[in-house]
Amino acid sequence: MAIKFAICNEIFQGWQLEDAFAFIKDVGYQGVEIAPFTLAESVEQIPLKERERVRNLAEKFGLEIVGLHWLLVSPSGLHLTTPDSSVRERTKNYFRELIRFCWDLGGKIMVVGSPKQRSLIPGDNYEAAWERAKAFFADLLPLAQENGVTLCIEALPKETDFIPTLDEAIRFVREINHPNLQTMVDAKSAVNEGLKLDEAVQKAAPHLRHVHANDVNRLGPGMGNVDLTPLARALKEINYKGFVSVEVFDFSPGAERIATESLNYLRKVFA
């Protein structure tokens, strides 16, 4: 099977990494996607030895570390489009650290979500923010390329006013025109934007490098009313070979139930 399933680690709050990886493997996932804020406030606080431990732990359980998401949640005060060049510079330097961290873990994908840290600062202008964001990524892409990491712009309607839609994400990718800056489909976002999931996949296809599987109710795939069958069908049609990663925002059912029910559902719709 070409398509691989992963799960984002933040639902395993309070678990030892070893226990979370063991459980993820046991359920049957092939990969894990890491939210850096779950490991430390800043990745600069994570020494190489600890990075190697995480990487080796994943290897021990036969899990691939897909990459990173929720990139700029911590440390506080980061912002990607702000007119304040000192904040932008600090954010860029931190992003460089994230790229190195991703490489150290063996990850290949970084999801550029972080809606709050990219939304327009009140009074700012969309096209001016757009140009700043382009310059921001242009500076980072040589390092991403050197480290074999692809940055995936994630459309986030309802959560941000900067690149809220898949069309905007694709426009951004095309304007930057660099192999290490691509896009992805997040199921709840595509539905929130009013797209059919197969249309979202077809639209993103030339630049599609990652997928987040979830429901508009913020639970796992199959844990609400969103039918992911059209997503699965369209991904197969384009011969997608990346990860479909379960990403959940409501942790209340507990990590065990979320991880198990989500994978059972994915296996059914992707069968």
Q: Give the interface with ligand LER as residue ranges (CB under 6 A).
A: 69-70, 111, 113-114, 154, 156, 159, 186, 212, 247
Please choose which of Mn ion, ligand LER, none residue 159 contacts, taking the beta carbon within 5 to 8 angstroms, the exact cut-off set by kind.
Answer: ligand LER
Give the nearer residue to ligand LER in terms of CB position, either 53 or 218: 218
Query: How far is residue 104 from each of residues 21, 50, 108, 149, measured CA to CA in Å?
Result: 18, 10, 10, 11
Q: Which does 261 bind (CB under 5 to 8 A by kind): Mn ion, ligand LER, none?
A: none
Q: How far is the CB of 113 from Mn ion (least distance, A)?
A: 5
Smallest CA-to-CA distance from 220 within 197, 246, 245, 243 is with 246
CB of 214 to Mn ion, least distance (A): 7
**Binding at 70: pick from Mn ion, ligand LER, none (beta carbon under 5-8 Å per type):** ligand LER
CA distances from 204 to 152, 214, 236, 265 (A): 11, 18, 14, 24
| Contacted by 10, from ligand LER, Mn ion, none: CB < 5 to 8 Å by type | none
User: Which residue, 79 or 212, is less far from ligand LER as judged by CB?
Assistant: 212
Measured CA to CA, the distance from residue 197 to residue 72 in angstroms comes to 27
Residue 81: CB minimum distance to ligand LER, A:
15
Task: Report, in Å, the least distance between residue 22 CB and ligand LER.
Answer: 25
CB of 258 to ligand LER, least distance (A): 15
Q: Which of 247, 167, 156, 157 lies closest to 207 in space, CA to CA?
A: 167
User: What residues between 244 and 263 interact with Mn ion by CB under 5 A?
Assistant: 247
Q: Which residues pair with 180 in a beta bridge?
A: none
Q: Is residue 186 a contact point for Mn ion (CB under 5 A)?
A: yes
Nearer to ligand LER, 141 or 151 (CB): 151
x-or-dash string of contact with Mn ion, 207-226, rule CB under 5 A: -----x--------------
Instruction: Count Cα atoms within 13 angstroms, Cβ side, for 75.
Output: 12
| Assigned token pair, 228 | 């992911």
Please give the torsion angle defined by the CA atoms of residues 211, 139, 101 and 117, in that order, rounded to the nearest 10 degrees: -60
- Smallest gap, in angstroms, from Cβ of residue 262 to ligand LER? 15
Provide the residue count of the chain.
271
Taking the least distance from each CB to ligand LER, the nearer of 180 and 214 is 214
Among all residues, whose Cβ is closest to ligand LER? 113
Instruction: Name which of 154 and 215 has its Cβ closer to ligand LER.
Output: 154
Contacts of 112 (CB under 8 A, 6+ apart): 71, 118, 151, 152, 153, 154
Q: What is the DSSP string of 159-204?
A: T-SSS-SHHHHHHHHHHH--TTEEEEEEHHHHHHTT--HHHHHHHH
The one of Mn ion, ligand LER, none whose footprint includes residue 156, by CB under 5 to 8 A per kind, is ligand LER
The dihedral sign for the CA sequence 230, 231, 232, 234: positive
Nearer to Mn ion, 79 or 210 (CB): 210
DSSP element (H, E) containing 222: none
Residues that bind Mn ion (CB under 5 A): 186, 212, 247
